[in-house]
C-alpha cells in the first residue's frame, strides 16, 4: 500500500472519502452531501468513529463513489482518525477500487496534518495481509486497493506521518514473523529475517549454542535440546543518542518458534497455533525496527531468546535439574513451562553484558493469562510502581492495553523446590503470577523490571481496528510509546 499527500484531488479520482464529525457533511460536494443527509437515517449512520456511509453519486463522466467516514461527535483523537482510516481500508480492500482519495480540504479539524497521518496509518495497518501461500484466491478475494491519497492536509502531513510509517514497518515485521509457519520461521531463519535491521543502523550480534553453552546458559539450552534446530540469542542494539555508554533500557522477548510442550506434550487440537509462541521476540524485533526507522534518540538493546521446543530422545525430561546462567538451579517439573527457562538466561545475559537500569520482557507465557484477561489486555507484573505506571500509560496511549497483577512472597514460595533452588511451575491457581515470580528471581538488585504476559494478544480470531484476523503486532506500539515518553531526550 502506497500513501501520498497531495495539495489537490487527482482529476481521475473516482472514489472519494470525507471524514465527518457526526452528520456534519462537508459542502465540498453539495450533491454528495445532500444525498448523504437523506441516506444517513436509512443506513443508521450517526458519524461515530469508524462508521461508514457509502454512496454513489452520478455525474457527466459516470458515477463517483463517495464515502463519509465517521470520526465521532466531539473533538476527535488519533484513535478516532485511525478507526476511520481502518474502516475505509476494510471497506475497499477487495472492492475492485485501486485508489482511495481522502479529502480534508474543507475540514474544520484542528490539526489536519496529524489527522491525515493517523488516517493513513489506520488504513495502512488494516490493509495488511499475508497471502504468500494462498494460490487459489478468486479475483473477488484478492486485494485491489493499492494507493491512499490524502488531499488538503497541509505541508506538515508528510512529516507527521514519517514516524508512523516507521512504526508501520515495525508492526509489519512483527506480523510477518508471527504469521509464518514454523517450518519457515525457526531460530536461525528468524535471525535471517532480522538482518535487514542493520540497514537502519541496528547493530546485530548472534550467539549460537556453543557460545551460549560457554556462557553457562543451561536453562535456555535445556528447552532447545530436543530439537534439530539450533537455538540462537539475537542481540539488537540501537543507539540514537551518540552516547557510547551501556543502554539504560533492555527489551527481552521470548522466541519459542514452535512449542509442542516437549515431553509434557500439548493436546493435538490447536497445537498449530504454537507457531506464534515467539510473539514476544517478534514484538521486540518490530519495536527495534520502529525505533531505528524513526531515528529515535534512545540507547536501547533488544534480546530475542530463540528456541524450538520439541519432544525427542534428547529432550529435557520432567524432573530434570538444570543450571541457569545465574548459577541458580531449576527443577523442570513441566517442559511446557519453557518460556520462563528461556527468559531467565536471556535476562541474566543482558545484565552481565549491558548492565541496563530497566528491563521489560515480553512473552506469550501462560494460558492462565488468557483465562484471566481474555484477549483484551496484556498482563503486567513489575517490581517498581513508577515503571508499572509508565507502561500502563503507554498501553492506554498506544492501544496496546495492559492490566497490572500482584507479586509477593506468598506467591514466590509456591515455586520452591525440595531438590533445587526452584521449580519451573507452581500449582494451577495463580499460574501467571508464579511464572512472573520465577522470572523475578533472575533480576539483579536495583534493576527496574517489568514482565508482560501477552499470551492473549499476539493473535486475533476476529478483526480489530488496526488488524484483520491473525497476527496483531501487539507490543510494538506499546514499546515505541513507552520509549518515546520515558527514554527519549
Query: For 51, which DSSP code?
Result: -
Contact, 401 vs 377, CB < 8 A?
yes
For 212, 256, 458, 468, the CA distances from 215, given in Å and listed in that order, are 5, 20, 31, 42
What's the pLDDT score for residue 24?
A: 83
Average pLDDT over residues 314-333: 98
Q: Which three cell numbers stand for residue 92?
A: 475497499
Residue ranges of E strands in 364-479: 378-382, 402-404, 422-423, 448-453, 459-460, 470-471
What are the DSSP calls for 210-256, one per residue? Answer: HHHHHHT-HHHHHHHTTSSSPPEEEEEEEE-S---S--SEEEEEEEE
- C-alpha 470 chain-centroid distance: 12
Query: For 200, which DSSP code?
Result: G
Q: Which three cell numbers stand for residue 6?
A: 497531495
What's the pLDDT score for residue 428?
A: 95
Lowest mean per-residue pLDDT among 105-114, 198-207, 262-271: 105-114
Of the residues 83, 340, 423, 484, only one is catalytic, namely: 340
Q: Are strands 358-363 and 422-423 parallel, antiparallel or unpaired?
A: unpaired
Residue 74 has pLDDT above 70, yes or no: no
Q: Percentage of residues in the chain with pLDDT exceeding 90?
A: 88
Continuous H helices in 136-230: 157-179, 187-194, 209-215, 218-224
For 262, 276, 331, 434, the CA distances from 272, given in Å and listed in that order, are 14, 9, 28, 26
What is the chain's Cα-based Rg?
A: 24
Phi/psi of residue 204, each to 5°? -120, 130
Q: Which three cell numbers stand for residue 280?
A: 514476544
Average pLDDT over residues 369-378: 98
**Hey, which residues does 64 pair with through a beta bridge?**
57
What whole-number distance in Å separates Cα of residue 359 and Cα of residue 325?
A: 17
Q: For 272-296, how does the pLDDT look when each residue is reduced to its tens digit (9 = 90+)?
A: 999 999 999 999 999 999 999 999 9
Q: Is 266 noted as a catalytic residue in this protein?
A: yes
Residue 230 has pLDDT above 70, yes or no: yes
Q: For 34-43, how does the pLDDT look when each residue is reduced to its tens digit (9 = 90+)?
A: 888 889 988 8
CA proximity to 164, closest of 115, 98, 131, 100: 115
What's the pLDDT score for residue 28?
A: 66
- Could you tell me which residues come within 8 angstroms of residue 35 by beta carbon, excluding any fewer than 6 positions away? 55, 57, 66
Cell 505506571: give the residue: 389
Contact, 449 vs 266, CB < 8 A?
no
Average pLDDT over residues 188-212: 98
Q: Please report which confidence band the pLDDT of residue 10 belongs to, taking 50, 70 and 90 as the band edges.
A: confident
* Residue ranges of domains in the chain, CATH in brackets: 2-152 (3.40.220.10), 166-486 (3.40.630.10)
Q: Please report which confidence band the pLDDT of residue 84 belongs to, taking 50, 70 and 90 as the band edges.
A: very high
**Hey, which residues does 55 pair with through a beta bridge?**
66
Contact, 400 vs 475, CB < 8 A?
yes
Strand order in 422-423's β-sheet?
A: 321-323, 329-331, 422-423
CA proximity to 236, closest of 200, 209, 188, 183: 200
Average pLDDT, the chain: 95
Q: Please report which confidence band the pLDDT of residue 489 belongs to, taking 50, 70 and 90 as the band edges.
A: confident
pLDDT higher for 61 or 331? Answer: 331
Which helix (H) or strand (E) element contains residue 307? strand 299-309
Q: Are strands 378-382 and 448-453 parallel, antiparallel or unpaired?
A: antiparallel
Residue 388 has pLDDT above 80, yes or no: yes
Residue 327 has pLDDT above 90, yes or no: yes
Q: For 451-481, how does the pLDDT look when each residue is reduced to its tens digit (9 = 90+)?
A: 999 999 999 999 999 999 999 999 999 999 9
Q: Please report which confidence band the pLDDT of residue 217 belongs to, taking 50, 70 and 90 as the band edges.
A: very high
Q: For 18-57, how does the pLDDT look when each residue is reduced to its tens digit (9 = 90+)?
A: 999 988 887 667 788 888 888 998 889 999 999 999 999 8
What whole-number distance in Å separates Cα of residue 46 and Cα of residue 36?
A: 11
- C-alpha 330 chain-centroid distance: 31
Which helix (H) or strand (E) element contains residue 57? strand 52-57
Of the residues 9, 73, 266, 441, only one is catalytic, namely: 266
Average pLDDT over residues 412-421: 98
Contact, 356 vs 381, CB < 8 A?
no
Q: For 176-187, how does the pLDDT look when each residue is reduced to its tens digit (9 = 90+)?
A: 999 999 999 999
Amino acid at each position: 500500500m502506497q500513501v501520498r499527500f497531495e495539495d489537490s484531488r487527482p482529476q481521475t479520482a473516482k472514489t472519494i472519502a470525507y471524514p465527518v464529525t457526526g452528520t456534519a457533511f462537508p459542502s465540498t460536494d453539495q450533491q454528495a452531501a445532500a444525498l448523504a443527509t437523506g441516506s444517513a437515517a436509512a443506513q443508521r449512520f450517526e458519524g461515530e468513529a469508524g462508521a461508514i456511509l457509502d454512496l454513489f453519486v452520478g455525474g457527466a463522466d459516470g458515477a463517483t463513489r463517495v464515502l463519509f467516514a465517521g470520526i465521532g461527535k466531539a473533538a476527535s483523537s488519533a484513535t478516532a482518525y485511525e478507526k476511520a482510516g481502518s474502516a475505509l481500508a476494510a471497506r475497499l480492500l477487495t472492492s475492485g477500487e485501486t485508489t482511495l482519495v481522502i479529502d480534508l480540504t474543507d475540514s474544520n479539524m484542528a490539526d489536519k496534518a496529524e489527522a491525515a497521518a493517523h488516517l493513513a496509518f489506520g488504513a495502512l495497518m488494516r490493509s495488511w495481509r499475508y497471502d504468500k501461500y494462498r494460490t487459489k484466491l478468486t479475483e473477488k478475494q484478492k486485494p485491489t486497493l493499492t494507493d491512499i491519497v490524502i488531499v488538503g492536509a497541509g505541508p506538515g502531513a508528510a512529516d507527521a506521518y514519517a514516524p508512523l510509517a516507521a512504526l508501520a514497518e515495525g508492526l509489519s515485521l512483527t506480523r510477518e514473523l508471527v504469521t509464518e509457519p514454523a517450518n519457515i520461521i525457526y531460530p536461525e531463519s528468524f535471525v535471517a529475517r532480522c538482518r535487514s535491521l542493520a540497514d537502519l543502523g541496528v547493530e546485530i550480534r548472534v550467539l549460537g549454542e556453543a557460545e551460549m553453552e560457554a556462557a553457562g546458559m543451561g536453562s535456555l539450552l535445556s528447552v532447545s535440546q530436543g530439537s534439530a534446530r539450533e537455538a540462537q540469542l539475537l542481540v539488537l542494539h540501537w543507539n540514537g543518542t551518540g552516547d557510547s555508554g551501556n543502554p539504560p533500557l533492555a527489551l527481552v522477548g521470548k522466541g519459542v518458534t514452535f512449542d509442542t510442550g516437549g515431553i509434557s506434550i500439548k493436546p493435538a487440537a490447536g497445537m498449530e497455533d504454537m507457531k506464534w509462541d515467539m510473539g514476544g521476540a517478534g514484538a521486540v524485533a518490530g519495536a527495534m525496527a520502529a525505533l531505528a526507522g524513526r531515528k529515535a534518540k534512545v540507547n536501547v538493546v533488544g534480546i530475542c531468546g530463540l528456541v524450538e521446543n520439541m519432544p525427542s530422545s534428547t529432550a529435557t525430561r520432567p524432573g530434570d535439574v538444570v543450571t541457569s546462567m545465574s548459577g541458580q538451579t531449576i527443577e523442570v517439573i513441566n517442559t511446557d513451562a519453557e518460556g520462563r527457562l528461556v527468559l531467565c538466561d536471556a535476562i541474566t545475559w543482558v545484565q552481565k553484558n549491558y548492565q541496563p537500569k530497566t528491563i521489560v520482557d515480553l512473552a506469550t507465557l501462560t494460558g492462565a493469562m488468557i483465562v484471566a484477561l481474555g484477549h483484551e489486555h496484556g498482563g503486567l507484573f513489575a517490581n517498581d510502581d513508577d515503571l508499572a505506571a509508565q507502561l500502563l500509560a503507554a498501553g492506554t496511549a498506544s492501544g496496546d492495553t495492559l492490566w497490572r497483577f500482584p507479586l509477593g512472597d506468598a506467591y514466590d514460595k509456591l515455586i520452591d523446590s525440595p531438590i533445587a533452588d526452584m521449580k519451573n511451575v507452581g500449582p494451577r491457581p495463580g499460574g501467571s503470577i508464579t511464572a512472573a515470580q520465577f522470572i523475578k528471581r533472575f533480576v539483579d538488585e536495583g534493576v527496574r523490571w517489568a514482565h508482560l504476559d501477552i499470551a492473549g494478544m499476539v493473535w486475533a480470531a476476529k478483526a480489530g481496528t488496526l488488524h484483520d484476523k491473525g497476527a496483531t503486532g501487539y507490543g510494538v506500539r506499546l514499546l515505541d510509546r513507552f520509549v518515546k515518553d520515558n527514554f527519549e531526550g
